[in-house]
Amino acid sequence: MMVKKSTKSNFKKYIYITLAIASLFIASAAWKIYEDVLSPNVNLTAGETAYLYVHTNQDFETLTKDIEGKKVLRNLDALIRLIKLLGYESRIKPGKYKLTSDMGNLQIIKMIVAGKQEPFDINFKYAERKQDLAAFWGSQLEADSNDILNMLNDSSFTSKFELTPDNIITVFIPNKYNFYWNTSAFKLINRMLDEYDHFWDSTRVNKANKLGLTKPQVSIFASIVQKETHNIDEMPIVAGVYYNRFKKGLLFQADPTIIYAMNDKTIRRVAGKMLDVESPYNTYKYKGLPPGPICVPSVQAIDAVLNLKLHKYVYFCAKEDFSGYHNFAETFAQHQINAQKFQRELNKRGIR
């Protein structure tokens, strides 16, 4: 009888131990599953955000190397295991994905497989040349700056919209735009063309027609006006001066076009041999508007041209008080007096 009781006792102990070990294995497996699937895996503190970038046509191995380099995940191996287990290596969609501190691997995977990226605002304010324009947008979007520049320089593309490589940048209107990060160069420019058409509503088109100007011509005018004055209240007066010169067939003689032609932003005083620089943008040598804008003009400058001040001024010169405003004149004699005042002040200040 004693042997039987001892055997039963040992058997029970064996069962308990087995169950305990099994429980440990189950608990360990459950914890491992939780850790790999649901546990927060983003290396951020509460309230912080980071972004995961998936490039178009990027293979899975390159993507994981990029993520590893950013060090944004606590356990990248766990994410990779789960993606492979689900067979999603080739189903990840390109985009810019927002990561927060509470996100686990399953949540991240659902997001990048469904392509649930967040659009974001891009505040485009200014650019001077096509290269600047391409560099700006290339820094904001997946679109490569060289691809953007090549499209802007492609006459067969620009001609479809009755534009040229010289004036195509007039379709980029300064504004705040909402974009998905994985926007291509082609989609960017087509979006800007749509925005351009929207900007040029019937009111603006009618005003341009009354002035006898095309939309690109208005923007070229506006670019010169913007470079001449930063004072919005003065822009319509400056626009009126250039419009008068345009209608009379006079040379614009706009100093900012010389600076643009020479591509030298350090120039503080336009004079001498500078005026002879050979360029279609040299308005001291060639009459009328240059072939393209000398910057992407602001909406205020464009509207200043469309609502230009009608007057008889054909000359203007910066005020000698360096306020940023100008003295205007109807005659060359009066202009010379104004110019001499300014020249004397330049000399006094040692500006050459």
Q: Which two tokens stand for residue 349?
A: 């200040």
- Is residue 95 classed as helix, strand or coil in its secondary structure? strand
Higher pLDDT residue, 115 or 348? 115
Q: Which of 20-34, 95-109, 195-209, 238-252 has the lowest mean pLDDT?
A: 20-34
Beta bridge partners of 179: 120
- The number of residues making up the chain comes to 352
Residue 35 lies in a domain: no
**Same structural domain, 218 and 307:** yes
Residue 189 lies in a domain: yes
Q: What is the CATH number of the domain that holds 63?
A: 3.30.1490
Domain boundary among 199, 229, 264: 199
**Same structural domain, 222 and 301:** yes
Provide the percentage of residues in the chain whose pLDDT is more than 90: 72
Q: Which two tokens stand for residue 261?
A: 């032609």
Range of the domain at 211: 202-311
**Same structural domain, 252 and 232:** yes
pTM across the whole model? 0.84
Domain boundary among 165, 199, 233: 199
Q: Which of 71-75, 202-206, 229-233 has the lowest mean pLDDT?
A: 71-75
pLDDT of residue 205: 98
Q: pLDDT digits over 202-223, tens only?
A: 999 999 999 999 999 999 999 9
pLDDT of residue 292: 97
**Same structural domain, 194 and 216:** no
- pLDDT tops 50 at residue 31: no
**Same structural domain, 211 and 300:** yes
Amino acid at 224: I
The Cβ of residue 342 has, within 10 Å, a number of other Cβ atoms equal to 17
Q: pLDDT digits over 258-299, tens only?
A: 999 999 888 888 888 989 999 999 999 999 999 999 999 999
Domain count, the chain: 3
Q: pLDDT band at residue 20, thresholds of 50, 70 and 90?
A: very low
**Same structural domain, 195 and 211:** no
Close Cβ partners of 282 (under 8 Å, ≥ 6 residues apart): 257, 258, 261, 275, 276
**Same structural domain, 83 and 106:** yes
Provide the mean pLDDT of the chain. Answer: 89
Q: pLDDT digits over 294-343, tens only?
A: 999 999 999 999 999 999 999 999 898 888 899 999 999 999 999 888 88
Q: pLDDT digits over 161-175, tens only?
A: 999 999 999 999 999
**Same structural domain, 152 and 248:** no
Residue 320 lies in a domain: no
**Same structural domain, 159 and 231:** no
* Nearest Cα residue to 276 out of 268, 284, 266, 288: 284
User: Rounded CA gap, 74 and 295, in Å?
Assistant: 46
**Same structural domain, 165 and 242:** no
Residue 341 lies in a domain: no
**Same structural domain, 209 and 306:** yes
Beta bridge partners of 104: 40
Give the phi and the psi of residue 314 in degrees, each rounded to 5: -125, 0
Higher pLDDT residue, 351 or 41? 41
Residue 230 lies in a domain: yes
Higher pLDDT residue, 91 or 14? 91
**Same structural domain, 143 and 164:** yes
- pLDDT tops 90 at residue 37: no
